[in-house]
A and B are shown apart, each in its own frame.
Chain A
Amino acid sequence: MAFKVYTDKFMKYRFLLRELVIKRIKLQYRSSVLGVLWTFLQPLLTMIVLTFVFSMVFGKNSAAVVNYPVFLLSGRLLYDFYSQSTKRAMKSIRGNASIIKKVYVPKYIYPLSVVLSTFVTFIISLSVLAIVIAFFNIIKKDPVPVTPAMFFIIVPIIILFVMCLGIGMLLATLDVFFKDVENIYDVFCTLLFYGTPIVYTIDKLNFGADSWQVNLLKINPLYGIIDMFRAAILHGDEFMAFLDINSLIYCSVFAVVMLIAGIGLFYKFQDKFILHI
């Protein structure tokens, strides 16, 4: 019976959820001249800059890379979704304090809506990846074969979404009680960017395949998710050889645990939010 109360409430407020998701996307670019084009331009320009800088240092000859700009862009897009959605979700309860204090609204609507709206922009920005792949295939330099395995990207994307929502709710709860979390998390995200093989590949690190450094990097579930995504995009021909089943299981379990922990913590403390914001 209790479950029905929750679903009824969700049904009542799903229009609010929709409104909030749309609002975020609409307002993001409202006052800029190029508007929604920035969703494409921003990752494209970042990719060009990073390719220019890092292709001289890493990548290129590594067997795992195939095409450095595509390699880089795919990692970067996933990382951006992760860091933006979790950072926004973290601030979502505090940011809507004025509403939460005055009107009854199911509070999870706020972190959920920002993760969803960031997800929509992320999905749109994936078309940049398609354009870049098409570009390299047309100029026939480091072509990326288009294969059915590319559909597999949906799996890492779902895992990533679940993980972001869980971590987002966890951070949102913590942030209500300790505002320091915002500062710590910013630094953590920078560390994560360099700690995840986004601009480089693990085998370029010269640590040896089973060294503790490499194992440490592999604990990071974002690595597993990006790796799976890249396997589907870059290695469609021999996809099964590049897909790491253990990593798939590890990432899925991690994401689900995060979601349960996030919802649990949020649910436990949500009635106290109002006393702290």
Chain B
Amino acid sequence: MLFRLNRERVDNAKEYVIRMLTRKLHYTEFWALKDVSFKVEKGDRVGVMGFNGAGKSTLLKTIAGVLKPTMGNVKVTGTIAPMLELGAGFDPNYSGAENIYLYGATMGFSRKFIDEKYNEIVEFSELKEFINAPLKSYSSGMKSRLGFAIATAVKPDVLILDEVLSVGDAAFKEKSEQRILDMIEDGVTVLYVSHSTDRIRKLCNKAVILTKGQLVASGEVGEICDMYTEMVNSK
């Protein structure tokens, strides 16, 4: 994934033309991810580790289809449920109930599917009394609970998690973690980004380490986690 980093952001036509004429349209190239190549088998749970800015989120976004790789390709068989950020696609002026349909549609669910899952979503999010209130009156915890409930209503083949397991209060956290664990039990493939080796050891069977956009290690979760701990300590 190649990003062109402009030294200064040029987003108006006048500047663009002036710079083009004076040949000052500089940018430095920056590879957020380069030569990252790995394969995940069905049912694998892969933990993705790396320091800030190593390219973890870029990797997940590329796999989810949000970003298109500059070179190379990503091949996914089956349905993906990306849980990169819960609630992208919520409309604050809509009620909770309307947002279930709107967000579900954004995730590519059909109307029939949401109709079927509607009660389950409401129940899981514990928002029954507030479901007809506008979303703008919700607390951020309530919003993410609703988001989590909708996003996990589907049984995907591949689940992409970007540290979203920490949703809501302690009780809800446990409930949401249980739901993820249930999915894993059903044999879902997981890509999980976290800084916590403990969590990765608990959830994953394989792991990879990214450093400055490059894949430096991949393998069994135990040895990779040890390696990462060493990297953190030696930094």
Chain A residues in contact with chain B, CB under 8 A?
12-13, 15-16, 18-20, 23, 27, 30, 98-105, 177-181, 271, 274-276
Contact between B64 and A104, CB atoms less than 8 A apart? yes
Let me know if A104 and B65 touch, CB within 8 A.
yes
Residues in chain A near residue B65, CB distance under 8 A: 104
Cβ–Cβ < 8 Å partners of B82 in chain A: 103-104
Distance of A189 Cα from B17 Cα, bound (Å): 24
Q: Is the CB of A101 within 8 A of B66?
A: yes
Provide the bound-state CA to CA distance between A177 and B66, in Å: 18
Q: In the complex, how many angstroms separate the beta carbon of B147 from the nearest chain A beta carbon?
A: 11
Contact of A15 with B109 in the complex, beta carbons under 8 Å: yes
Known contacts A104-B64, A180-B13, A276-B11; is A19 also within 8 Å of B93 by CB? no
Assess whether A103 is in contact with B3, with CB atoms less than 8 Å apart: no
Q: How far is the CB of A173 from chain B (nearest CB, A)?
A: 14
Tell me, in angstroms, the Cα distance from A275 to B5 when the chains sit together.
10
CB distance from A272 to the nearest CB of B (A): 9
Is B231 in contact with chain A by the CB < 8 A criterion?
Answer: no
Interface residues of B, Cβ cutoff 8 Å to A: 3-4, 11-14, 16, 64-68, 82, 84-85, 88-89, 91, 93-94, 98, 101-102, 105-111
B12, A178: Cβ atoms closer than 8 Å: yes
Known contacts: A30-B93, A104-B65. The answer to whether A99 contacts B105 by CB under 8 A is no
Which residue of B89, B94, B101 contacts A27 across the interface (Cβ within 8 Å)? Answer: B94
* Neighbouring B residues of A12 by C-beta, 8 Å: 108, 110
- Contact partner of B66 among A30, A103, A276, CB < 8 A? A103
CB nearest to A181 among chain B residues:
B13
A95 to B94, CA, bound (A): 17
| A23-B91, A99-B88 given; A180·B109 CB < 8 A | no
- From the candidates B3, B66, B67, B110, name the one contacting A15 in the complex (CB within 8 A): B110
Of A16, A101, A177, the residue contacting B106 (CB under 8 A) is: A16
Q: B108 contacts which chain A residues (CB < 8 A)?
A: 12-13, 16, 105
**Contact check: which of A13, A15, A103 meets B84 at CB < 8 Å?**
A103
User: Of all chain A residues, which has the CB nearest B2?
Assistant: A275
Residues of A with C-beta under 8 A to B107: 103
* 20 A/B residue pairs, CB under 8 Å, sorted by A: A15-B105, A15-B109, A15-B110, A16-B105, A16-B106, A18-B105, A23-B98, A27-B94, A101-B66, A101-B88, A102-B84, A103-B64, A103-B82, A105-B108, A178-B11, A178-B13, A179-B12, A180-B12, A180-B13, A275-B4
A19 touching B14, Cβ below 8 Å: no
- Out of A19, A271, A274, name the residue touching B101 (CB < 8 Å): A19
CA distance A30 to B65 in the complex (A): 34
A13 to chain B, nearest CB (A): 6
Residues A99 and B106 in contact, CB atoms below 8 Å apart = yes
Q: How far is the CA of A271 from the CA of B65 in the complex (A)?
A: 10
